[in-house]
Amino acid sequence: MLRALIFDVDGTLADTERDGHRVAFNRAFADAGLDWHWDVPRYGELLRVTGGRERILHFMESAEANIPAAERETLARALHARKTAHYLRIVDEGSVQLRPGVARLLSEAHAGGLTLAIATTTSRANIDALLAHTLPPGALGWFSVIGAAEDAPRKKPDPQVYEFVLEQLGLAPQECLAIEDSSAGLQAASAAGVRTIVTITDYTRDQDFSGALTVLSDVGERDAPARVLAGSAAGTDVIDVAQLKAWHAQG
Ligand code: XBP
Ligand code: MG
């Protein structure tokens, strides 16, 4: 029986990467006097490395970064802290909105008695800011457990953050459903034994989603129906709790 929905944040609750995180990284680089610039396609490649600090460290290994190995860890930490400050400012300005249907689905699930949780590689501050700016007051309290970067140092596709959330929830993986946007997220949830639906983004649409219960454009709204891209097409345009329960039961 389905008891809990576990949501990823970046790409799933909101399309945060291109106009949120990417811009914040570039501002942090400029602040530090570095001439690095991650354009939209380049950032898409870098997204293969999950976790912002890990992404910076990965970039530092390239010849164009030109940072001595001994200095990389300290600089990556400083740049990432600065990047988080920029990201919080971008969210405060209202530039990052929830994806279509997400606020509706969260509030329906909460009202319907399903437990809600979050499993993400991003930092806790980023989640709190996003939820505070995009959901009704008090909605942070809808989430029984929030698993973030601070709780799980091994980033997706490692299942650590899902294992943390399951343990905190006191639920078996079979009682939960994950909602993810990326192959790394799908792999993390699946490795923890949690069945998963995927809502793609422009950055993730060509990734491998084998093993997902279904792959969707998004969860849909009455005036902007969801499209089923792969897997079970049960014929509903607006994904609601009943539909999620049906997919979960089939899986
Ligand atoms: C999200 C990430 C994060 C964000 C940036 O992955 O990989 O690194 O890009 O956030 P997922 P931080 O959606 O699978 O959780 O800089 O805070 O890491
Ligand atoms: Mg994601």
82 and 113 share a domain?
no
Same domain as 124, residue 246: yes
User: What CATH number does the domain containing 188 carry?
Assistant: 3.40.50.1000
d(CA 3, CA 171): 8
Residue with tokens 């994904």: 239
pLDDT at 63 exceeding the cut of 90: no
Assess whether 59 and 176 both reside in one domain: no
**Rounded mean pLDDT of the chain?**
95
Please say which residue of 92, 108, 136 terminates a domain.
92
Q: Distance of CA 67 to CAs 47, 58, 157, Å?
A: 21, 11, 27
Ligand 1 cavity residues, CB under 6 Å: 8-11, 17, 21, 50-52, 120-123, 126, 149, 156, 182, 184-185
Task: Report the atom number in ligand 1 closest to the C-alpha of 188.
Answer: 14
106 token code pair: 């969260």
Same domain, 140 and 232: yes
Task: Encode pLDDT of 223-247 as tens digits.
Answer: 888 888 887 665 668 999 999 999 9
- Assigned token pair, 226: 């969801």
Instruction: Check whether residue 148 and residue 213 sit in a common domain.
Output: yes
List the domain range (segments joined by +) for residue 28: 17-92
Do 122 and 206 reside in the same domain of the chain? yes
- Degrees (nearest 5) of the Cα angle 61, 158, 117? 125
Same domain, residue pair 60 and 112: no
Asked if 168 and 145 count as a contact pair (C-beta separation under 8 A), the reply is yes
Q: Is 33 in the same domain as 145?
A: no
In ligand 1, the atom with minimum distance to the C-alpha of 156 is 14
Single residue among 35, 58, 92 that ends a domain in this structure: 92
Q: What is the pLDDT of residues 109-165, one digit of tens each?
A: 999 999 999 999 999 999 999 999 999 999 999 999 999 999 999 999 999 999 999
Exposure of 247 in the CB half-sphere (CA atoms within 13 A): 30
Which domain-ending residue is among 69, 92, 115?
92
Catalytic annotation, residues: 8, 10
Number of independent structural domains in the chain? 2
Looking at ligand 1, which atom is closest to the CA of residue 83? 16
Ligand 1 pocket check: which of 8, 50, 87, 180 to mutate, most ligand atoms within 8 Å of Cβ? 50
C-alpha 185 – ligand 2 centre gap (Å): 6
Q: Which of 84-88, 170-174, 245-249 has the lowest mean pLDDT?
A: 245-249
* Contact predicate 220/201, CB 8 Å: no
Tell me the Cα Rg of the chain. 18
Q: Measure the CA dihedral 106/110/115/120, to 10°.
A: 30
What's the confidence (pLDDT) of residue 232? Answer: 67
pTM of the model: 0.96
Give the model's confidence band at 222: pLDDT under 50 very low, under 70 low, under 90 confident, else very high.
confident
The helix/strand/coil state of 66 is: coil
Residues 68 and 167 in one domain: no
The type of residue at 190 is S
Residues 185 and 173 in one domain: yes
What's the pLDDT tens digit per position in 123-135? 999 999 999 999 9
Is residue 58 domain-shared with residue 154, that is, in the same domain? no
Tell the residue nearest (CA) to atom 17 of ligand 1.
122
Separation of 37 CA from ligand 1 center, angstroms?
18
- Residue 171 sits in the same domain as residue 238: yes
| Strand segments (E) across 85-227 | 115-119, 143-147, 176-180, 195-199, 214-216
